[in-house]
Amino acid sequence: MPLSVYRGRFAPSPTGPLHLGSLVTAVASYLEARTHHGEWLVRIEDVDSTRVIPDSSRQILHTLASFGMNWNGEVVYQSQRHASYQAALAELNKNGLIYPCTCTRREIADSAVMNSERPVYSGKCRNGLSGNYGGRPHTLRVKTEYSRIEFVDHLQGKVHQCVQREIGDFVLRRADGIYTYQLAVVVDDAWQGMTHIVRGMDLLHSTPRQIYLQKLLGYQTPVYLHLPLVVNKQGEKLSKQTLATPIDLARPLPQLVATLRFLGQNPPDELVEGDITSFWQWAQANWQAEKIPKGNRFMSEL
């Protein structure tokens, strides 16, 4: 798909109901797509079955529809895309770009190289495993290079990372057979023809890895926009782990208006007294992505 055609997406993980942090991403990605006369798709990122909460997918889709965010096409579920992820691994393997790793977490920690922020995998298994490892659990890692990945984020500006020095060879399939987020998101974004990715700042550090995989697999690189995160009073990202309050389906307009204000827009107070249709008409007519603040901020959970 040519990059002149805008196609964006919202890709929640079904680990619980949506909260205000996820609403920020949904609203921003939706408005970016609609104001560019593009498509907005929904993908349920349930590739990690160990984290899925039953019925969460249905709740998420119901919330989006109740808040007036209608998506294009069919909803895609990563749990139904395993054959595509395996095909990508086979392509990388054919080119000698992945290898099995039997290191335990303890072994990885003990042999890791430290950079300024986090331990980096040492590459212990990169040159082959000794003996017969066929019966031993193993991950599949991709070989990285010292070359620097650079891109310009539409909000955060220029970003660069040397994947090998700062991350190391990273896992594409876990020892339990589950494909990782890094692989699944790259394969799915390419398959769905995504041209623009709008998501939270917590994923900014993952983007160079994903661009690296895109290059290895011959995929186009979309335009990225990483949004500020909604944090609680302790400065923690809103999440299930920090006990974020689920979105209140009975009060969509106050939450939508608060979300626009968090995103640097200036909706009039009277929108709260209107209806969903009027809200989206105003939002699409007045959306200005360049007004989105860069930094993470607190937002009242209303």
Task: Identify the band that residue 1 occupies on the pLDDT scale cut at 50, 70 and 90.
Answer: very low
- 11: its two tokens: 């890709």
What is the spatial distance between Cα 55 and Cα 44, in angstroms, rounded to a whole number? 12
What is the spatial distance between Cα 69 and Cα 221, in angstroms, rounded to a whole number? 26
pLDDT at 2: 44
Top pLDDT among 269 and 123 is at: 269
- Nearest-5° angle of CA 234, CA 235, CA 240? 85
pLDDT at 120: 87
User: What percent of the chain lies above the pLDDT cut of 90?
Assistant: 77
Task: Identify the band that residue 238 occupies on the pLDDT scale cut at 50, 70 and 90.
Answer: confident
What mean pLDDT comes out for the span 190-209?
A: 97
pTM: 0.93
Task: Identify the band that residue 142 occupies on the pLDDT scale cut at 50, 70 and 90.
Answer: very high
> Model confidence over 57-116: pLDDT tens digits?
999 999 999 999 999 999 999 999 999 999 999 999 999 999 999 988 777 777 666 664
